Amino acid sequence: MADRLYIFDTTLRDGEQVPGCQLNTVEKIEVAQALELLGVDVIEAGFPVSSPGDFQSVIEISKAVSMPTICALTRAVEKDIEVAADALRYAKRGRIHTGIGVSAEHIRYKFNSTPEEIIERAIKAVKYAKRFVEDVEFYAEDAGRADNEYLARVVEAVIAAGATVVNIPDTTGYCLPSEYGAKIKYLFENVSGIQNAIIATHCHNDLGMATANSIAGVMNGARQVECTINGIGERAGNTSLEEVVMILKCHKELDIETNINTQRIIKSSRLVSNLMNMPIQPNKAIVGRNAFAHSSGIHQDGVLKNRDSYEIMNPVDVGLDNNAIVLTARSGRAALKNRFEQMGIVLENGDLDSVYEKFLKLADTNKNIQDEDLLKLTGDITDARASRKIKLRYLQVLSGSVVPCSMVRLEIGGVEFTATATGNGPIDASINAIRTIIKDQITIQEFLIQAMTRGSDDLGRVHMQLEFNGTSVHGFAVNTDIITASIEAYIDGVNKALTQKQ
């Protein structure tokens, strides 16, 4: 049986330390609930002694989620531990995470102390925390730069004092993966009683090695990884949750499993990015906009022939509908033909060559090629088809405390058709009305309405995935009126489906 790795998410603690990323309690609950659905084992909910707001958030998160352990951070200070224990009083499973710096730099400059004194403070903190909760995690801050022999003594002492988890942070993001892996191995070989605790990694990304270091730790016996969604965190950030989870999913030979429902990764990533106002860099592994986008002709042709040519992960596994084939001046005929097919236009070989020539001229000057630009390129080919397009001419809906009802007028090939229908809501009623005009069996597979920014005067963006004759098409529309946007997105999809039929 595969070994189990515990995922300890610290988005709401280390992630929230990022300037500008502070959340209010309601937003923190929303993130915590998303983390629970994602399947994390532990949520580090805050540092309760730091402010009344953080204290209250730990209380509310403890009430709002029940599956993950709720963890509260403290210094090796009695008051911090008491406040953390109080904040965890509603947690079904509560953990106190206490600790102290163990590197020469921390002992000397931060604490003006001695190694022996620090061990005494560490033991005292763990024993004090044990008075309140059974599950006590100890962090040996700056373990990455600490002397391994001394670190082993600290780890042995805190396990003997009752620590259930011992965290070995590379606080400054300094270690090389080989060095960090060797550190974990050293502890397993030199600490008596190490089997009584779980060893955890907590790696920072100052040199871009956080994920590599965490995986090196896991390969040497660590069984908890501390990480954040999108890798956010103090300075250059933390190990990113999605990277660790997908590495283990891709590298089956490591034989290590997590409890993460990977199909919720993108949703969780976007939620955190939106709430924390922290954009995701487009090339960010797993969750960046370009992580599953192919933009050069050779790659696009390869992927269209067989995904395995250039994809090591299935985008569906992380919660995307599909990969993206992005048209650029580096694209070839295969990608262009594919995009037209998605729009419902099948180009014959002769047509394809002439459209491709025009496309290259456009793509050399225009970085952002829209479907509308492509349609213009096909000129005469699509003119005849466009004249048969369905257009929404009029829409009136009745909703509120009545049976929702809709009147729709469509223009098809220059002729107008009007229909009315009821439904379980105004959108359902409008689609029922359209279905009385267009008889083809087109079903809705996915329907997504999103506010583009915030506020009640916002634009609503609608994406509808429709199924017709066994193939999927996508309809899009944007409008300040979300009912109109929904119906326009449906008609956009229907037009694409019916063009395919022609």
Which segments are annotated as binding site for Mn(2+)?
14, 202, 204, 238
**Does residue number 237 form part of the binding site for ligand ACO (CB under 6 A)?**
no
**Residue 50 binds ligand ACO, judged by CB under 6 A:** yes
Burial grade of 312 (CB within 10 A; 0-12, 13-18, 19 or more)? exposed
Does 22 engage in binding with ligand ACO (CB under 6 A)?
Answer: no
Q: Say which entry of ligand KIV, ligand ACO, none residue 417 contacts (CB below 5 to 8 A, set by partner kind).
A: none
Q: Which residues contact 368 (CB under 8 A, 6 or more apart)?
A: none
Cα within 13 Å of Cα(321), Cβ side? 13
Query: Which phi and psi angles does 390 have, rounded to 5°?
Result: -85, 130
d(CA 112, CA 121): 13
Distance CA 246, CA 74 (A): 31
Contacting range for ligand ACO; rule: CB under 6 A; set: 58-66, 75-83, 292-300, 326-334: 75-83
Backbone angles phi, psi at 24, to 5 degrees: -85, 175
Q: Which range in 69-77, 385-393, 402-410, 452-460 contacts ligand ACO by CB under 6 A?
A: 69-77
Among ligand ACO, ligand KIV, none, what binds residue 202 when CB lies within 5 to 8 Å by partner kind? ligand KIV
Q: Which residues are annotated as a binding site?
A: 14, 202, 204, 238
Question: Which partner in ligand KIV, ligand ACO, none is near 167 (CB below 5 to 8 A by kind)?
Answer: ligand KIV
Residues sharing a CB contact under 8 Å with residue 104, sequence separation 6 or more, in sequence order? 145, 146, 147
String of DSSP letters for 46-84 = E-GGG-HHHHHHHHHHHHH--SSEEEEE--S-HHHHHHH
One residue of 29, 100, 433, 482 binding ligand ACO per CB under 6 A? 100
E strand or H helix that includes residue 409 = strand 405-412
- CA dist 396 and 83 (Å) reads 58
- For residue 11, the minimal CB distance to ligand KIV (Å) is 13
Contacts 24+ apart (CB under 8 A), 189-193: 190/148, 190/149, 190/152, 191/152, 191/155, 191/156, 191/159, 192/156, 193/156, 193/159, 193/160
Closest to ligand KIV by CB, 75 or 249 = 75
3-state secondary structure 486-497: HHHHHHHHHHHH
By beta-carbon proximity to ligand ACO, the closer residue of 76 and 84 is 76
Contact 138, 158 (CB under 8 A): yes
Give the residue carrying structure tokens 């033991």: 123
- Least distance to ligand ACO from the beta carbon of 109, Å? 10
Q: Confirm if 74 and 41 have CB atoms less than 8 A apart.
A: no
Residue of 47, 150, 292, 490 interacting with ligand ACO (CB under 6 A): 47
Measured in whole angstroms, how far is the alpha carbon of residue 2 from the centre of its chain?
A: 25
Nearest approach in angstroms of CB 149 to ligand ACO is 21
Q: Is 128 in the site for ligand ACO (CB under 6 A)?
A: no
CA nearest 198: which of 4, 43, 370, 442? 4
**Which parts of 78-114 fold into alpha helices (H)?**
78-87, 104-105
Under the criterion CB under 6 A, does residue 75 sit at the interface with ligand ACO?
A: yes
Footprint of ligand KIV (CB under 6 A): 14, 73, 139, 141, 167, 169, 171, 202, 204
Residue 226 touches ligand ACO, criterion: CB under 6 A: no
Q: Does the footprint of ligand ACO cover residue 76 (CB under 6 A)?
A: yes
Region of 36-44, 71-79, 355-363, 436-444 interacting with ligand ACO (CB under 6 A): 71-79
Residue 111 binds which of ligand ACO, ligand KIV, none (CB < 5-8 A, kind-dependent)? ligand ACO
One-letter amino acid for residue 222 of the chain? A
Nearest approach in angstroms of CB 355 to ligand KIV is 55
Binding residue for ligand ACO, selected from 49, 318, 336, 491, defined by CB under 6 A: 49
Q: Is 141 in the site for ligand ACO (CB under 6 A)?
A: yes
> Which range of residues in 73-81, 144-152, 298-306, 461-469 is near ligand ACO by CB under 6 A?
73-81
| CB nearer ligand ACO, residue 171 or residue 382 | 171
On the 0-12 / 13-18 / 19+ scale of CB atoms within 10 A, 384 is: exposed
| Residue 17 CB, nearest approach to ligand ACO (Å) | 6
As measured in angstroms, the least distance from the Cβ of 143 to ligand KIV is 8
Nearer to ligand ACO by C-beta: 100 or 212? 100
Over the window 440 to 469, marking each residue x when it contacts ligand ACO by CB under 6 A and - when it does not, the resulting string is ------------------------------
* Cβ distance to ligand KIV smaller for residue 172 or 309: 172
Q: Does 28 engage in binding with ligand ACO (CB under 6 A)?
A: no
- Dihedral of CA atoms 236, 239, 240, 246 in degrees, nearest 10, equals 150
Task: Tally the residues of the chain.
Answer: 502
Cβ closer to ligand KIV: 179 or 351? 179
Q: Using the rule CB under 6 A, give the single segment among 42-50, 345-353, 419-427, 474-482 that binds ligand ACO.
A: 42-50
Closer residue to ligand KIV, CB minimum distance, 73 or 433:
73
Binding site for ligand ACO (CB under 6 A): 17, 47, 49-50, 75-77, 99-100, 110-111, 141, 171
